[in-house]
Structure 1
């Protein structure tokens, strides 16, 4: 296995968090990164709070063995619901909807995420804390159908279908909330669809929660060789070979090790 020096560790249960790895690698090109696809715990979004906490605790413990400078839980739902309860030996970050930033430029905002996030009491409390009196101008919207377009590869291999699906989703959203002018892409899968959003509704402003986290990680990280080490857990239902095939379909070349 290739060696890394005080890497930034990034993890999630699915494919979406690789967007975070690409962004970190682009913005901090000399930092080493360890990327864990925790497929043995897939999907995070369908777990109870106790199950999710146990899965995230396990991933953090595994990554701690690589002596990271910091760990990024690159999944919105657990970042909002259980991050503060996770024990970590190094600074631990999550990705949360950039509600304040979106409200600064838009009268109304839609937070797009998986069902477990948008229906959670924790997200409602987070929005109230971030938006204050403007909380009624923030709308949580279930975008699980769009997440599936990424997870199953449709966004790459069924482009016309994906274009139509995203356009229909946004038409429905704006039919319900016609004053929405900004979207937070609060599933790490959704940035993969950024071009589709921009094509369907170029007037909407898009906010990626990952972008703000990079600047928080920068001062904690240390120079390395720019190496990206990939790790994957597996079960009989979600074998590592299947995940490797997904990366290949996306044109991603990664030194990936089963742990």
Structure 2
């Protein structure tokens, strides 16, 4: 299988959430060719052990490099924080991660009460605590498990059941505010969560919700080239998460891309 792409930027994650990163790159670099890998065979990254996650991330990067990616974006906060430092040393192409914008969140917070919303593996990792310590200057930052909301994006129910999604987001924010009095700023540190930004903003119009993808653009710029502006999607699958489910999600999102099945 070959694709007529000019020095494409590779983008990957285990699920549909990372397609939001593809849209950011397309908006900022309209002539950039993009090779998007939906690694459904490894979904969810958030439930993997450290070693399992490192193996999945390495395999995905190598797949994108094999198909010609000139640089790769690991479009997921948890593996970027947890394993990218060790994985990128063995790769043949530059790899950029997506990271919780902790310093930015502390900078815009009025109360100084800030939360990083992520998946379970990120929340439970010692790496996120070390990352926060570096980024926060010793200031307190809470890490909160948002995995139940991630599923709303992955299965498309945030689109098919917006009222139910809003209720769940409202309940989530209410619990969060009761546990963290004064909370006014959150980072949406799973690539799925920015899809729910309108729901968060309706649930808490007085709070700030930061998308980690915004910090990617200046870091990615040196790796971009002028191509035809084509986006190609390749995907792995499992019995639980077949290719057909990805096609259905693209249809729900109004995305006109045909995924191509690949083996890692």
Please say if residues 6 and 66 of structure 1, whose CA atoms lie closer than 8 Å, have aligned partners that are also in contact.
no
Shift >3 Å, 4+ stretches: none
Q: Does 1:3 align with 2:4?
A: yes
Q: Which moved more, 1:235-244 or 1:179-188?
A: 235-244
Q: Secondary structure at the match of 1:236?
A: coil
Displacement of 1:41 = 1.1
> What TM-score, normalized by structure 1, do the two folds share?
0.96
Number of aligned residues: 257
Q: Does 1:144 align with 2:147?
A: yes
Displacement of 1:74 = 0.4
Q: Which of 123, 128, 150 does residue 128 from structure 2 map onto?
A: 123
Please say if residues 21 and 35 of structure 1, whose CA atoms lie closer than 8 Å, have aligned partners that are also in contact.
yes
1:52-85 Cα deviation digits (max 9, x unpaired): 1111111111111233231000011101100011
Q: Does 1:109 align with 2:114?
A: yes
Q: Compute the RMSD of aligned alpha carbons.
A: 1.1
1:90 match: 93
Q: Does 1:71 align with 2:76?
A: no
Q: 1:62, 1:193 → 2: CA distance?
A: 30
1:81 match: 82
Please say if residues 187 and 212 of structure 2, whose CA atoms lie closer than 8 Å, have aligned partners that are also in contact.
yes
1:231 match: 234
1:202-238 Cα deviation digits (max 9, x unpaired): 1111111111011111122111111000000112222
Q: 1:218, 1:255 → 2: CA distance?
A: 27
Q: 1:183, 1:68 → 2: CA distance?
A: 33
1:251 match: 254
Displacement of 1:2 = 4.0
> What TM-score, normalized by structure 2, do the two folds share?
0.95
Q: Which stretches in structure 1 are left out of the alignment for 5+ residues?
A: none
Q: 2:154, 2:49 → 1: CA distance?
A: 21
Please say if residues 7 and 66 of structure 1, whose CA atoms lie closer than 8 Å, have aligned partners that are also in contact.
no
Q: 1:127, 1:105 → 2: CA distance?
A: 16
Q: 1:40, 1:155 → 2: CA distance?
A: 22
2:30 match: 29
Q: Secondary structure at the match of 2:239?
A: coil
1:175 match: 178
Q: 1:113, 1:122 → 2: CA distance?
A: 13
Q: Which stretches in structure 2 are left out of the alignment for 5+ residues?
A: none
Displacement of 1:201 = 0.7
1:75-125 Cα deviation digits (max 9, x unpaired): 111011000111221110111100001101111211001111111111011
